[in-house]
Structure 1
């Protein structure tokens, strides 16, 4: 005979399972995939289909992927994908401003991220970085008038200090919090000898997204630029993720710069990130 005493425990188990499932669904709306990771996977159609197959609901695009706005919208719709943001070179933003804004609005995106500075264009002193910050700030103000948000994505070279202050801090401190957000790449911050958690605390409320990838040790994944799937490398995600949540980070964007097996990289990172964020959400 079924014991009545088992009913409460069964209900608790069901409630716990439901709560876990709800949390997992909720965190999926915080996870995205940077499509640069899949740049060597066939056509744009193949890449968008792989993102969908891997369970992603959100993606960060790179430029236009050589697609018209209409064709990209069709791929987004057929793969049930939403754009969180787009990486767009500063030169394109400045020299093809209206074209860039129009394309992104047409595909449903309102956040543009400056992803990279060519070595020959990088400032080499504090005043140079201040001028660069002012340049970004002016562009961000213009974009805001057009209903768009500008962000900046770091690598390791912004961790270099000038008179005791990193270039990234110079950029952030000489621009408006409204005109420029930060998309912090935790792996590159660490490679530059800085602590991602410090930046998350220092610029709380201003870090729009984290690029969620991991660093491997020297001699490990040398043929993949020593990057690893999130949770399988050297970074302390048990500290980074709670700090990111406390800082108000909106998106956790999975990326890998040189994956030998893109499917394995994105699915492993996705599973690990979803599990970690789900634990925080419970």
Structure 2
């Protein structure tokens, strides 16, 4: 990395990418650090207590950029979730996914869901934690001229909810990620960075690709993501055949842009 890097955003790995590694947590984190990342985005507690996770992070020199926590867990025990996250030094929690039975079906229902999340986000904000929502493809459905994701954010009171925009899922949902980065400018601090393989390729990896080895235009997207407010680029691959090789190749590509 040089002193003349064009981006200020830092690199993290979403640990879901490495879920199938048969390694102790501390070893996983050391591999992430060795690949050149500054942080991780955790999946809940990573199956550890706060002290164990904190020590593993310290040993690797990594920080928690943010954490994906299921909505049901946030609503069941917000106090406990926030206590854990603050104990490991994290101030950003992300609602990662909404199952088929929980998804809104029209614009009004998406706005109502946004209001529900906004109420949760207000409680997080009162404790010094930011709440974000992470998209997949289904939130790209157009309803009354806007995506479902826009309606969701419209429903949340100002300052209570942000977006973690997953650029590859935006593309899979048929929308323009550059346009949505502009739409959500000032509302996002985390962006998921992953790639989509050319049609017919990487079918054994669900059609995903390591960052820089697929079809997304990263030269445009990285600049636009940072301009929109992204402080962390979070690398993810949903189904890598070689998880460590994947995060290494993605980091090498991205660091070539610094």
Output the TM-score relative to the length of structure 2: 0.95
Query: Larger helix proportion, structure 1 or 2?
Result: 1
1:41 is the counterpart of 2:21: yes
Q: Which of residues 140, 164, 167 in structure 2 aligns to 1:186?
A: 167
Check whether the contact 2:184–2:228 (CA below 8 A) recurs between aligned residues: yes
The equivalent of 1:237 in structure 2 is: 218
Q: Take 1:226 and 1:196, find their aligned partners in 2: how far apart are those partners? A: 18
Matched length: 257
The equivalent of 1:169 in structure 2 is: 150
Check whether the contact 1:27–1:274 (CA below 8 A) recurs between aligned residues: no
Which one is further off, 180-189 or 53-62? 53-62
The equivalent of 1:117 in structure 2 is: 98
Q: 1:28 deviation in Å?
A: 7.9
Q: Take 1:191 and 1:198, find their aligned partners in 2: how far apart are those partners? A: 15
Q: Take 1:238 and 1:28, find their aligned partners in 2: how far apart are those partners? A: 15
Flag structure 1 segments of 5+ consecutive residues without an equivalent. 1-19
CA RMSD of aligned residues (A): 1.5
Q: Aligned runs of 1:83-98 on 2, under 5 Å?
A: 83-98=64-79
Check whether the contact 1:29–1:57 (CA below 8 A) recurs between aligned residues: no
Q: 1:23 deviation in Å?
A: 3.4
Question: Does the residue aligned with 1:232 lie in a helix, a strand or coil?
Answer: coil
Flag structure 2 segments of 5+ consecutive residues without an equivalent. none
The equivalent of 2:195 in structure 1 is: 214
Check whether the contact 1:93–1:100 (CA below 8 A) recurs between aligned residues: yes
Q: 1:196 deviation in Å?
A: 0.7
Q: 1:98 deviation in Å?
A: 1.0
The equivalent of 1:198 in structure 2 is: 179
The equivalent of 2:228 in structure 1 is: 247
The equivalent of 1:10 in structure 2 is: none
The equivalent of 1:31 in structure 2 is: 11
Q: Aligned runs of 1:126-137 on 2, under 5 Å?
A: 126-137=107-118
Question: Does the residue aligned with 2:61 lie in a helix, a strand or coil?
Answer: coil
Output the TM-score relative to the length of structure 1: 0.87
